[in-house]
């Protein structure tokens, strides 16, 4: 009877490992993680083999016992019992570490997020968003000059979204949450195709190597009204482990002084959505209540006068670039007038210099190049920004400028072993972001380090 019980425990442990693996692979991004990260790929394979071996051994033990064999069967019985205990403990521990959602924290300050689509005066609508630990009702008073309006929530909520619509270009606005601190922001001008924005990627908050002090310093430069930035784009890997709420809290503590006053847009990185992180990414970066007009919570289009941003979902490689997203992207690209600016923002890179890391080729990515660059060339995309590779690089191919700016807070990649034929300029060992000024038919693109110094600059013509 007791032996029978041990057999069923072993079957249960083996099934538990398989259920755990099925759950892990059902999560957004795990297939990419398996393909790109050689170490974790081995861990997944080892776990699957462990479950198969346990299943075979426990059946073998039962068969030998039925034949009343002794000797080696005792060793086998102990091995099955040890593996049974491990087979139950390992999935439970890993599930507890990554699978149980922590409570969402209250926001340090409100964020001003760019809405997708086009506003009624060619300026994107904005959303003031913040979280509270308990469900509460709040109000936002906002306006420009002496005119103001107040929005109040009708029922208690934990995630709060207030839409600021019909904004006028080149106008200073202010807002207050519950009559407290006043935040000010200025909308971009839409005359003459002038726009000034900053792009950063791969801050990896929560990683031991990330430099929060330098990230904070660079945010201060961008938020300084004297530097006149209109918009801010984060291209992913904002946190190291997206499933850890603590890292999101750390990120927004550093981000709050800037995202409350510079309208911000977040693209998703593979680390943000890692093993259940997608839910947190959506909660903090595209909360329920923010309208969607042009795509999904992972890809959207934002129009600022004649400058059009297509924020796409490209995480590990091209796994997240679905057929649906491909059709959406081509439809958007086809609708943008040739003389306007078309700027693509996303996490994963296309052309890049680099080396092989953990068995993956971290340079000229054949999957993203094949799936996306023909569209960029066909529709005359002007600039394509990405991160993912922790380096600074500018590459040009067939009239399209590719910018890699994955050097905001985390450590650099190793020195490149492969130089992309499309590379124009490459640099590592800097903490930096990109400062872009679109002005008429030209854009000035400046790579700035953590002291706001120019590392290099380029003039990009409208393609």
Site for Fe ion, rule CB under 5 A: 202, 237, 269-270, 388
Nearer to Fe ion, 162 or 351 (CB): 351
Element (H, E) at 99: helix 72-99
Question: Least distance to Fe ion from the beta carbon of 460, Å?
Answer: 24
Q: What residues form DSSP beta bridges with 79?
A: none
Q: Select 301 or 388, whichever has its Cβ closest to Fe ion.
A: 388
Q: Which two tokens stand for residue 312?
A: 């796409």
Cβ distance to Fe ion smaller for residue 110 or 269? 269
Interatomic CA distance for residues 321 and 29, integer angstroms? 11
> Min. distance of Cβ 451 from Fe ion in angstroms?
22
The answer to whether the CB of 391 falls within 8 A of the CB of 407 is yes
Rounded CA-CA distance 144/186 in Å is 10
Q: CB 365 → Fe ion: shortest distance, Å?
A: 12
Cα angle vertex 272, ends 115, 303, to 5°? 20
* The pairing of beta strand 111-114 with beta strand 147-152: unpaired
Q: 């890179």: which residue's tokens? A: 349
Q: 3-class DSSP state for residue 104?
A: coil
Q: In the complex, what is the shortest distance from the CB of residue 252 to Fe ion, in angstroms, rounded to a whole number?
A: 18
- Closest approach, Cβ 304 to Fe ion, in A, equals 26
Minimum CB separation from Fe ion for residue 389, in Å? 8
Give the whole-angstrom CA distance, residue 368 versus residue 335. Answer: 22
Choice between 202 and 303, CB closer to Fe ion: 202
Sign, CA torsion 113/267/123/439: positive
Distance from C-alpha of 264 to C-alpha of 257, rounded to nearest angstrom: 12
For residue 63, the minimal CB distance to Fe ion (Å) is 49
Strand 172-177, strand 182-186: pairing? antiparallel
> Is 162 or 433 the residue whose CB approaches Fe ion more closely?
433
User: Which residue is at the shortest CB distance from Fe ion?
Assistant: 237
Decide whether 119 or 206 has the Cβ nearer to Fe ion.
206
Radius of gyration of the chain (CA): 25
* Shortest distance, position 410 Cβ to Fe ion, whole Å: 6
Nearer to Fe ion, 188 or 406 (CB): 406
Minimum CB distance to Fe ion smaller for 188 or for 269: 269
Q: Are 276 and 95 in contact (CB under 8 A)?
A: no
Q: In the structure encoding, which two tokens stand for residue 206, read together?
A: 């929560």
Helix (H, G, I), strand (E, B) or coil at 389: coil
């Amino acid at each position: 009877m007791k032996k029978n019980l041990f057999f069923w425990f072993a079957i249960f442990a083996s099934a538990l490992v398989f259920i755990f693996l099925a759950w892990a692979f059902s999560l957004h991004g795990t297939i990419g993680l398996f393909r790109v990260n050689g170490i974790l790929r081995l861990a997944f394979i080892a776990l699957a083999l462990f479950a198969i071996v346990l299943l075979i051994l426990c059946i073998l033990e039962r068969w030998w016992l039925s034949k009343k064999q002794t000797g080696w069967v005792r060793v086998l019985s102990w091995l099955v019992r040890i593996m049974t205990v491990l087979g139950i403990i390992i999935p439970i521990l890993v599930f507890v570490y990554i699978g149980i959602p922590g409570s969402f924290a209250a926001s340090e300050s409100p964020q001003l997020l760019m809405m997708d689509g086009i506003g009624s005066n060619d300026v994107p609508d904005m959303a003031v968003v913040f979280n509270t630990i308990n469900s509460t009702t709040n109000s936002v008073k906002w306006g420009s000059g002496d005119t103001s309006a107040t929005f109040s929530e009708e029922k208690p909520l934990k995630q709060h979204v207030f839409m600021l619509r019909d904004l006028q270009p080149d106008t200073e606005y202010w807002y207050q949450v519950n009559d407290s601190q006043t935040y000010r922001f200025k909308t971009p001008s839409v005359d003459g195709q002038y726009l000034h924005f900053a792009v950063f990627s791969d801050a990896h908050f929560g990683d031991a190597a990330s430099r929060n002090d330098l990230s904070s310093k660079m945010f201060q430069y961008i938020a300084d009204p004297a530097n006149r930035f209109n918009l801010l784009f984060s291209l992913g890997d904002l946190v190291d482990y997206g499933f850890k709420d603590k890292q999101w809290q750390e990120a927004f503590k550093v981000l709050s002084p800037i995202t409350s006053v510079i309208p911000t847009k977040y693209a998703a990185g593979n680390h943000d959505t890692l093993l259940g992180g997608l839910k947190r990414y959506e909660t903090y970066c595209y909360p329920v209540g923010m309208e969607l007009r042009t795509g999904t919570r992972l890809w959207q289009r934002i129009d600022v006068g004649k400058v059009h941003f297509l924020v796409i979902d490209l995480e590990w490689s091209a796994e997240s670039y679905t057929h649906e997203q491909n059709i959406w992207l081509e439809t958007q690209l086809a609708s943008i007038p040739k003389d306007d600016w078309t700027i693509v923002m996303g996490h994963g890179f296309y052309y890049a210099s680099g080396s092989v890391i953990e068995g993956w080729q971290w340079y000229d990515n054949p999957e993203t190049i094949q799936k996306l660059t023909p569209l960029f060339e066909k529709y005359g995309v002007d600039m394509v920004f990405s991160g993912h590779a922790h380096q600074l690089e500018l590459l040009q191919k067939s009239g399209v400028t590719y910018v890699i700016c994955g050097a905001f807070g985390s450590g650099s990649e190793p020195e490149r072993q492969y130089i992309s034929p499309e590379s124009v300029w490459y640099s590592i060992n800097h903490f930096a972001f990109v400062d872009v000024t679109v002005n008429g038919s030209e854009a000035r693109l400046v790579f700035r380090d953590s002291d706001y110094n120019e590392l290099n600059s380029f003039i990009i013509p409208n393609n």
